[in-house]
Structure 1
Amino acid sequence: MARRTKAEAAATREALIDAAEEMFMEHGVARTSLEQIARHAGMTRGAVYWHFKNKADLFHAMLDRVHLPFQYLFDEVDSAIADSCPLEAIRQACIKGFARAELPRNKRVHFILMYRCEFFSDIDPQAMQEEISGDISQVLLKYFQLAAERQQLTTLSPEAAADLFHATLSGLFYAWLRHPERYSLEARGTIMIEDLLSLLRSG
């Protein structure tokens, strides 16, 4: 019985996050109330407060369902490749990231964070974006430093290579997210990063 109650509570929590995601997408985060989310989920506002402290807590739970540290993508790459060919590890990890970004829920949540979320109470979208950006930069730098140690990088410093690559990824992602129906992020992104890595690769 207790196991069933725990499962029901988890299902209720997920349903509330689903409702929040839909309402945030439609109305924006600041213009969506917990009362609206509860009604959209067919529940009471008390059910929302049972699972979440406030709207910021609910927003972070929504983001946590889709966001993974950038390193996780590299952890899925064969460790021997990551060690011996770090630029190939970057290529494979980015392609995995493109595919994840195109999943419907991932695409919606990142669109909400970028284009439907204003600074509001305990929700600071700029700080969240900077945290994600910093994580990506740090991981890229690590692998470009490894490429430099393996003498696989051009005359650019690892720092410059990481900055250039990160700027390319950011521009590509933000542009695609505004109009995702126009092209496949994975298809276009793969071509772009392969071209860029060919310029950064020594020899």
Structure 2
Amino acid sequence: MVRRTKEEAQETRNQILSAAELCFYSKGISRTSLAEIATAAGVTRGAIYWHFEDKSELVGALFERVNLPLQPLSEASRNPNEPDPLGRMRELLVTVFRRAATDPEARRVGEILFHKCEYTEDLGNLRQWMQGFRREYSQDIEKGLGNAVAKGQLPEDLDLIVAGSCLHAFITGVLDQWLLLPDMMDLDAKAETLADSILDMLRLSPALRKG
């Protein structure tokens, strides 16, 4: 009975997240009410508040759900026991780009975060959540790069902070541009080329070395 109750709660949570994804994608975050999400999910507003404190937490959970399949690769790139951290990072980059191009859920969530995410006064927590996420993501990138340096895959004098910022900006820039102008490039076909180009920059650019 307890297991069934937990399964039902998880199912309701997923219903809410799926409904929120479609509502946010259609109207934007700030213009979507929790009542609209509840109606779309077939639940009460009370059910939403049972699972999520506010709309900001709902957005965060939505993003975490779509990124869950990427966690093993991300963790592997930072694992000191991983013999090929740069290879895992390349695989992660390729997967990120290809999922955006081929996975409708990943593409919708990307559209929401890049183009339908307004930091309005009533969503003050959303900005804080995004700041926290990007800070943590940057730290993970730096750890992965540091692991690749330790394995001799990147220059030992690589400036991890600058290199990490460039890599982070490259990922978000490619996704932002492609989501707005998807006809400009076949992102699925060019995923490996894009990943290799940024890794080449990390390996070869003198500007990314410590002074």
What is the TM-score with the length of structure 1 in the denominator?
Answer: 0.76
Q: Secondary structure at the match of 1:14?
A: helix
Deviations 1:55-75 (A, max 9, x none): 233333222212349764243
- What per-residue deviation string (whole Å, max 9, x for no partner) do you get for residues 92-146 of structure 1? 2222333344422122122112211212424544444433333333233234334
2-structure distance, mates of 1:111, 1:34 = 20
Write the letter of the residue equivalent to 1:25: Y
Question: SS at the partner of 2:67?
Answer: coil
Asked whether 1:191 is paired with 2:190, we answer no
Question: 1:148 and 1:109 mapped to 2: Cα distance?
Answer: 33
Judged with a 3 Å threshold, the aligned counterparts in structure 2 of structure 1 residues 180 and 126 are, in CA distance, closer, same or farther, namely farther
Contact 2:76 2:82 in 1 (8 A): no
Q: Which one has a larger percent helix, Structure 1 or Structure 2?
A: 2
Give distance in 1, aligned partners of 2:53 and 2:69. Answer: 24
Q: Tell me whether 1:114 sits opposite 2:114 in the alignment.
A: yes
Give runs of aligned pairs for residues 24-103 of structure 1, distance below 5 A.
24-68=24-68, 72-76=72-76, 82-83=82-83, 85-102=84-101, 103=103
- Residue ranges of structure 1 left out of the alignment (5+ in a row): none
Q: What is the match of residue 141 of structure 2?
A: 140
Q: Which residue identity lines up with residue 30 of structure 2 in the other structure?
A: A
Q: Quick one: percent identity of the two aligned structures?
A: 35
* Distance of 1:40 and 1:72 partners within structure 2: 32
2:17–2:58: 8 Å Cα contact kept in structure 1? yes
| Count of paired positions | 201
Matches of 1:50 and 1:87, distance apart in 2: 41
CA contact (8 A) 1:69 1:135 kept: no
CA distance in 2, matches of 1:149, 1:2: 47
Which one-letter code corresponds to 1:161 in the other structure?
A
Shift of 1:89: 3.3
d(CA) in 2 for partners of 1:66 and 1:161? 26
